[in-house]
Amino acid sequence: MLLTGSPEAIQSRGPCVLVPTMGALHEGHKALIRQGADLAEAQNAPGGCVVTIFVNPTQFNDPADFARYPKTLEADAQLCREAGAAAVFAPEVGTVYPPNEPPPVPPLPEVATRPGLEDAFRPGHFAGVCQVVHRLFDLCKPSAAVFGEKDWQQLQVIRAMAREQNLPIEIVSSPTIREPDGLARSSRNRFIPEADRRAATAISQALHLAGEQRSPAEAETAMNRHLQAASVAVEYAVVRDAQTLLAPAADRPCRSLIAARLGPVRLIDNMPWPDASRSSASAG
């Protein structure tokens, strides 16, 4: 497996399947990389699966969060190797953002700024995400890229950006990988204070509970009640149209989405609404 900071070294291998990450890799990333490696093989992409590891300064609106973001390149490279990556692209900041010619910030898709979701709590975050993903696409020239459902709004933003900019890149999604107690895996989980670790499971419980309710309004009430009872500081706990993230519309897939804070850590998670087993039960 190649480990490089050189875009030329990546491009010279031919079209690849890209898995963009910020490192501190865990089982969730591993599943994405495995999926990327399988896809590269199925598509005969000569560059194989390329994992990018870059902690992007432009998408952090909290300097403390950026400063403490874990950096574990050696262990990350090992995980990538095990998961079947052909290469790791870990560029320097100056490669991604050359001081003399800063890369353009692509137009922000509307789905990035839906009121009450990420933009309300992390203003500017998706502008940074679009900028870095667009730049990584440009540096690595992939034919496809894999993103996790864990960051649901981000996935919709990237899909919209690719569509609106006519990028010749297939955007593929990968399901959320969880701890045994239901907590979605995240590089930030290691910072959850021990005393809050049990409360953190209330997030996935609330999403399951939402899935059992008969209407989006009841689902939102159930989520907020459950999180409040567990003393979780909620930023939002809502049901939205799964693709547009506007208010839910009848006969369109919906998603329950939560953002919450546990001590110094901000966690996000989501699940389909209604619960898949409930919708198939009611359909039957």
Q: How far apart are CA 237 and CA 222, in angstroms?
A: 9
Q: Which residue, 79 or 227, has its beta carbon nearer to ligand AMP? A: 79
Catalytic residue among 29, 125, 134, 226: 29
| Interacting residues with ligand AMP (CB under 6 A) | 21-22, 28-29, 31-32, 147-148, 150-151, 174, 176-177, 184-187
Shortest separation between residue 123's beta carbon and ligand AMP, angstroms = 18
Shortest separation between residue 104's beta carbon and ligand AMP, angstroms = 21
Alpha helices in the chain (DSSP H): 7-11, 27-42, 63-68, 73-83, 93-96, 118-121, 125-140, 152-164, 197-211, 216-229, 276-283
Q: Which residue, 185 or 208, has its beta carbon nearer to ligand AMP? A: 185
Tokens of 283: 């359909």
* Residue 29 is among the residues annotated as catalytic for this protein: yes
Shortest separation between residue 11's beta carbon and ligand AMP, angstroms = 22
Shortest separation between residue 255's beta carbon and ligand AMP, angstroms = 14
Shortest separation between residue 25's beta carbon and ligand AMP, angstroms = 7
Decide if 11 contacts 133 (C-beta within 8 A). Answer: no
Decide if 2 contacts 47 (C-beta within 8 A). Answer: no
Q: Which residue, 143 or 186, has its beta carbon nearer to ligand AMP? A: 186
Decide if 17 contacts 40 (C-beta within 8 A). Answer: yes
Residue 69 backbone phi and psi in degrees, to 5:
-60, 125
Decide if 138 contacts 97 (C-beta within 8 A). Answer: no
Q: Which residue, 103 or 128, has its beta carbon nearer to ligand AMP? A: 128
Q: Which residue, 151 or 275, has its beta carbon nearer to ligand AMP? A: 151
Decide if 184 contacts 178 (C-beta within 8 A). Answer: yes
Q: Which residues are catalytic?
A: 29
